[in-house]
Structure 1
Amino acid sequence: MTTPTTVTKSNGAVLEAAGVTMRFGGLTAVRAVDLTVAPGEIVGLIGPNGAGKTTFFNCLTGLYTPTEGTVSYKGTRLSHKPHLVTQTGVARTFQNIRLFANMTVLENVLVGRHTRTKEGLWSALLRGPGFKKAERGSEARAMELLEFTGLAAKRDHLARNLPYGEQRKLEIARALASEPGLLLLDEPTAGMNPQETRATQNLVLAIRDQGTAVLVIEHDMRFIFNLCDRVAVLVQGEKLIEGTAEVVQADERVIAAYLGTPFEGAPGDEEAAEVDAAEAHATAPRSAAPQPADAAPTEPAADGTASGTSAAPGTSAPPGTNSAPGTSTAPDENAPNGDAR
């Protein structure tokens, strides 16, 4: 059995990723990314589609073995086997919801408890006093988590019958059942309405207040900048910048990356003009553009822009722009055909 090995350098960090690189054949999806998460901290990871965010998450949690670099949790180098990573103290949710659809809400959370129970095969078969005590303890803890996430009243409902927002909560509850010191959330508000997004933000803050550090990927810039202590930006697999929300939003390279505009060095007049033109194009009225015959007509909104339009293909709104609360104008990475990398 592969076991985690201790490393000497931890700097008190819950998570320490050093020089993480992931190659698929000739494609480098993640290149030499360094990232730390301190105890009691919420760190955001953002970037355009294809920036390598989910690939980086998969390297942290053992789904992928990094081509280069190391990942450590509280000074212990993590195994490249997901169940051992979870046992060490790192839990995650997924971009596409992965619940046990035909199991109840309670049973889904109990699945997350398996790394924290000591009973083995013979104990389960014989169902002795030790097994029954452990079973009662696991159920009590699962119910605490369902209360915490607001799902206690639906403990006996099948997971597939829950509304979308509650399925997201159930995935978080199942992850918390493993008693992690670090929780990784991959697009926790994708597809949610503004009310569900605010509820998720409050839930993540409550998780942090209970002592669990959080690393979160998200396209909703308002959600990220209101929630996180620090934000790191990935672009084409490399870390572009890391800092507070204010620092990241003000960085011209981040704006250029989100607009799909090349950026090299400090911006001169020509580069600044290109960024301004791209931003103006992304927010310009589209009513004059040709539309298919069966397309619904657009109606001008109060600010003169056309409602029902979207950003140019392959682009998303730069950080700090005024998008609708709880929404993101970035392209959807939650396509049913699989995770975008």
Structure 2
Amino acid sequence: MTGMTTSPTTTPAPDGTHPVLHATGVTMRFGGLTAVRSVDLAVHPREIVGLIGPNGAGKTTFFNCLTGLYTPTEGTVTYRDTVLPPKPHLVTQAGIARTFQNIRLFANMTVLENVLVGRHTRTKEGLFSALLRGPGFKKAERESTRRAMELLDFTGLADKADHLSRNLPYGEQRKLEIARALASDPGLLLLDEPTAGMNPQETRATEALVRAIRDQGIAVLVIEHDMRFIFNLCDRVAVLVQGEKLTEGTSDAVQADERVIAAYLGTPFEGAPGQEELAEVEAAEAQADARADLTEDTP
């Protein structure tokens, strides 16, 4: 992916809406290893789409291709018909926000400060204004604080605004990461295993929160291992197996697909890579993640 250029017109949904996200032929190779192969996926406005698959299916690698952490070897990713640049901060500016499988909060910042960090892509005040703390900066600071408190109220964390994030219970840390992602005012939110480690009550609360996010007009794409959560929540579900999209459809259709059942039971298909090859892909992904962590804030 290079530069921001207009993409070909994408296929509208049955209701006539065009996708907010359209991934076409996305392939990600690490050396000679292919982690994701020719995956197509669209997410439409006000839609919740689930992405599922057994371990090693390439789900997080595909997420990383969508959000600029990886540059796909082949294929394109467009947001509102514009090809996304391969830089995470530019993807965020364009209107896509995400959470991570491993929580990435600033442990020694307060809950409010963590959400304010998420506002920086929407703050127009420059360096000199911030240094001089002039009227423009103070006005922007007040507006950012007001919006951050709105999001904390929305996620049920307003009474914890002054707490250090490291002192929050695990489920509330997950909520805080979602609040911080929402602070960038996205049109599409990507959630990477938002209920991992949660108890049933916390999972139900997260399900209600994701629906409330959708009701605010934000499209959602979610990876999750909790099948009950996914099938209760999502309008549509796509299944990745060994880096390829096996099927896509409604929750009922996907649950009834024998190929999906076989994949989760570990039944291999023709040409499936072995455990050694999967381990090599995972090692290559880890190296790519380490490099991405060093460069993701570099303009």
Place the TM-score, normalised by the shorter chain, in its bin.
0.7 to 0.9
| Other-structure match for 1:199 | 205
Q: Which AA in structure 2 matches 1:103?
A: M
- Root mean square deviation of aligned Cα: 1.5
5+ residue gaps, structure 1: 265-313, 315-337
- Does 1:28 find its partner at 2:72? no
Q: Is the 8 A contact 2:3 2:83 kept in 1?
A: no
Structure 2: gaps spanning 5 or more residues: 12-17, 276-285, 290-299
| CA positional deviation for 1:6 | 2.1
Cα pair 2:130 2:137 within 8 Å, conserved? yes
**Residue 20 of structure 2 corresponds to which residue in structure 1?**
14
Q: What is the distance in 2 between the residues matched to 1:105 and 1:76?
A: 34
Structure-2 residue corresponding to 1:284: none
Aligned-residue offset at 1:70: 0.1
Displacement of 1:108: 0.2
Q: Residue 39 of structure 2 aligns to which amino acid in structure 1? A: V
Q: How high is the TM-score relative to the length of structure 2?
A: 0.87
Displacement of 1:26 in angstroms is 1.3
Structure 1 residue 92 displacement after superposition: 0.1
Q: Compute the displacement of 1:8 (Å).
A: 3.3
Are 1:148 and 2:154 counterparts? yes
Deviations 1:152-185 (A, max 9, x none): 0000000100000000000000000000000000
Tell me, yes or no, if structure 1 residue 120 matches structure 2 residue 111: no
In the alignment, which residue of structure 1 is the partner of 2:94?
A: 88
| Mapped pair 1:236 → 2:232 | no
Inter-partner Cα distance in structure 2 for 1:258 and 1:173: 32
Structure 1 position 31, deviation (Å):
0.1
Where 2:162 maps in the other structure, the secondary structure is: coil
2:236·2:249 contact (CA, 8 Å) conserved in 1? yes
CA distance in 2, matches of 1:245, 1:6: 33
Which one has a bigger Cα radius of gyration?
1
**Deviation of the 1:263 alpha carbon:** 4.8
- Partners of 2:238 and 2:249 within 8 A in 1: yes
1-structure distance, mates of 2:204, 2:186: 23
Structure-2 residue corresponding to 1:286 = none
Please show how residues 73-84 of structure 1 align to structure 2 within 5 Å.
73-84=79-90
CA pair 142-3 structure 1, distance change in 2 beyond 3 A: farther
Tell me the SS of whatever aligns to 1:69.
strand
Which one has the bigger helix percentage? Answer: 2
Question: Where does residue 5 of structure 1 map in the other structure?
Answer: 5
Deviation at 1:3, TM superposition (A): 5.1
Which letter maps to 1:5? T
Residues 7 and 263 of structure 1, relative CA distance in 2, 3 Å threshold: closer
CA contact (8 A) 1:113 1:138 kept: yes
1:45 and 2:63 aligned: no
Greater RCO, 1 or 2 (C-alpha within 8 Å, sep 6+): 2
Kept in 1, the 8 Å contact 2:24–2:38? The answer is yes
Shift of 1:44: 0.1
Q: Give the fraction of aligned pairs with identical amino acids, expressed as a percent.
A: 84
Equivalent AA in structure 2 for residue 9 of structure 1: T
Give, in whole Å, the separation in 2 of the partners of 1:241 and 1:105.
40
Q: How does 1:97-112 map to 2 (within 5 A)?
A: 97-112=103-118
Letter in 1 for 2:181: A
Aligned partners of 2:10, 2:164: CA distance in 1, in Å?
42
What amino acid is the match of 2:123? T
For 1:98 and 1:230, locate their aligned partners in 2 and report how far apart those are by CA, in whole Å.
Answer: 28
Aligned counterpart, 2:179: 173
- Report if the CA contact (8 A) 1:23-1:29 is conserved: yes
2:214 is the counterpart of 1:208? yes
Is 1:13–1:39's contact at 8 Å kept on the other side of the alignment?
yes
**2:131 alignment partner, SS class:** helix
In 1, the alpha carbon distance for the partners of 2:3 and 2:109 equals: 31
* Residues 217-273 of structure 1 deviation map (CA, whole Å, 9 limit, x = unaligned): 000000000000000000000000000011101111000000011356xxxxxxxxx
Q: Distance in 2 between matches of 1:120 and 1:202?
A: 38
Counterpart in 2 of 1:294?
none
